[in-house]
């Protein structure tokens, strides 16, 4: 029976396009279709069990339409001068090897705080790149204390997070249990995946309370520990985004998530099949070419067991899933 299932599925999928063949979200039939029927640039695999779909949807903390409205009202776009010798491929971990945060994959846990993570991760990298040393900007502080950014674990606005960094400042803080900085993340890493090394993820939790007080034993007060940005701005255009990465480091972006993305394993992701689930914020760190397909290199916040060791590649140059539509970043005040 195990041998007959894929064969029967192949026949059914071959005669039925995704438009008229309703595959089950996170199901084996969708994974099989992507890997063996669809002519695509990536491979799928088992990351979540089908019954986890509603929980996974709650991790997608960006309402794309509301974010577009917010950006139109508040985000100022900066014109980026593009060099004639802009490299075809770029990996910041090679250009700035001393900045270890560029190789770090965080975990938002059971909370829709992707908007905070995609923002503080890029802020952290840019402080190091600009010569400000190895500090971790706190996702806890951003998620719990920025009232103007949104609703904490129920979603928020990346552009508002960068504005808050400039106007109010954000304290330091590493991942759960790290004892790094003023306010490390209070929610534990959890096993978002079928097989991982952490405790199983439970239902989405309420937003942790904003304490405005550093962990016991930390050397600075909450206010004294604040790190500030000097500017925040949006970036438009493929080459301008690429140049921004090369010149100043990672950026925050949001994109549309469909059911097939949840099963991503390797390759350059393009939406193939499945229904729309919501918006997700991430950190774009670089770009490149794989088998002739341009891609953005992206750090996710579902820990290093998801996807390609916590990273994914997504098609570059065609605004795949609106990945190039809402790029926001800024510079630190050192």
Domain co-membership, 28 together with 121: no
Q: The domain spanning residue 94 has which CATH number? A: 3.90.70.10
Domain co-membership, 85 together with 230: yes
27 within a domain of the structure (yes/no) = yes
> Could you give the angle at the alpha carbon of 158 between the alpha carbons of 147 and 176, nearest 5°?
75
Domain co-membership, 118 together with 236: yes
44 within a domain of the structure (yes/no) = no
pLDDT per residue as tens digits for the range 63-103: 999 999 999 999 999 999 999 999 999 999 999 999 999 99
SS3 readout for the chain: CCCHHHHHHHHHHHHCCCCCCCCCCCCHHHHHHHHHHCCCCEEECCCCCHHHHHHHHCCCCECHHHHHHHHHHHCCECCCCCCCCCCCCECHHHHCCCCHHHHCCCECCCCCCHHHHHHHHHHHHHHHHCCCCCCCECHHHHHHHCHHHECHHHCECHHHHHHHHHHCCECECCCCCCCCCCCCCCCCCCECCCCCCCCECCCCCCCCCCCCCCCCCCCCCCCCCCECEEEEEEECCHHHHHHHHHHHCCEEEEEEEEHHHHHEEEEEECCCCCCEEEEEEEEEEEEEEECCEEEEEEECCECCCCCECCEEEEECCCCHHHCCCCEEEEEECC
- φ, ψ for residue 2 (rounded to 5)? -65, -30
8 within a domain of the structure (yes/no) = yes
What is the CB neighbour count within 10 angstroms for residue 18? 17
User: How much of the chain, in percent, has pLDDT values that exceed 90?
Assistant: 85
Is residue 18 scored above 80 in pLDDT? no
Residue 203: pLDDT band (50, 70, 90) is: confident
The set of catalytic residues is: 114, 280, 300
108 within a domain of the structure (yes/no) = yes
Q: What is the structure's pLDDT at 14?
A: 43
Residue 21: pLDDT band (50, 70, 90) is: low
Domain co-membership, 6 together with 136: no
29 within a domain of the structure (yes/no) = yes
Domain co-membership, 154 together with 172: yes
Residue 30: pLDDT band (50, 70, 90) is: very high
Q: How many domains does the chain have?
A: 2
Domain co-membership, 144 together with 233: yes
Compute the average pLDDT of residues 249-266: 97
Q: What is the structure's pLDDT at 226?
A: 98
Domain co-membership, 142 together with 35: no
Domain co-membership, 12 together with 117: no
pLDDT per residue as tens digits for the range 182-197: 999 999 999 877 767 8
Domain co-membership, 31 together with 68: no
Q: What is the structure's pLDDT at 48?
A: 86
pLDDT per residue as tens digits for the range 35-68: 999 999 999 999 888 888 999 999 999 999 999 9
126 within a domain of the structure (yes/no) = yes
pLDDT per residue as tens digits for the range 103-153: 999 999 999 999 999 999 999 999 999 999 999 999 999 999 999 999 999
**Token pair for 302:** 């579902």
Domain co-membership, 28 together with 100: no
Domain co-membership, 10 together with 60: no
Which range marks the domain in which residue 13 is found? 1-39
Domain co-membership, 192 together with 165: yes
Is residue 207 scored above 60 in pLDDT? yes
């Amino acid at each position: 029976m195990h041998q007959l299932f894929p064969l029967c599925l192949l026949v059914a999928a071959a005669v039925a396009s995704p438009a008229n063949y309703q595959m089950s979200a996170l199901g084996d039939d969708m994974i099989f279709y992507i890997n063996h029927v669809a002519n695509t640039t990536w491979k799928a695999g088992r990351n979540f069990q089908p019954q986890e779909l509603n929980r996974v949807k709650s991790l997608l903390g960006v309402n794309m339409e509301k974010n577009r409205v917010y950006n139109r009202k508040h985000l100022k776009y900066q014109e980026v001068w593009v060099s004639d010798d802009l490299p075809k491929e770029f990996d910041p971990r090679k250009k700035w090897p001393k900045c270890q945060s560029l190789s770090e994959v965080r975990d938002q846990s059971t909370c829709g705080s992707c908007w905070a993570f995609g923002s503080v991760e890029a802020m952290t990298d840019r402080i190091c790149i600009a010569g400000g040393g190895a500090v971790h900007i706190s996702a806890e502080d951003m998620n719990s204390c920025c009232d103007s950014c949104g609703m904490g674990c129920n979603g928020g606005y990346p552009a508002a997070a960068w504005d808050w960094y400039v106007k109010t400042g954000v304290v330091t803080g590493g991942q759960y249990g790290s004892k790094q900085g003023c306010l490390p993340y209070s929610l534990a890493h959890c096993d978002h995946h079928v097989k991982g090394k952490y405790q199983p993820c439970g239902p989405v939790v309420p937003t942790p309370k904003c304490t405005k007080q550093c962990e016991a034993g930390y050397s600075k007060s909450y206010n004294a520990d604040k790190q500030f940005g000097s500017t925040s701005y949006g970036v438009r255009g493929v080459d301008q985004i690429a140049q921004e990465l090369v010149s100043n480091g990672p950026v925050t972006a949001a994109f549309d998530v469909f059911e097939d993305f949840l099963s991503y394993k390797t390759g350059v992701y393009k939406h193939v099949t499945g229904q729309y689930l919501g918006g997700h914020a991430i950190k774009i760190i670089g770009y490149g070419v794989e088998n002739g397909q341009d891609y953005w290199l992206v750090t996710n916040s579902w820990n290093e067991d998801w996807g390609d060791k916590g990273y994914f590649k997504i098609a570059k140059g065609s605004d795949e899933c609106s990945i190039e539509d809402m790029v926001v970043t800024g510079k630190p005040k050192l």
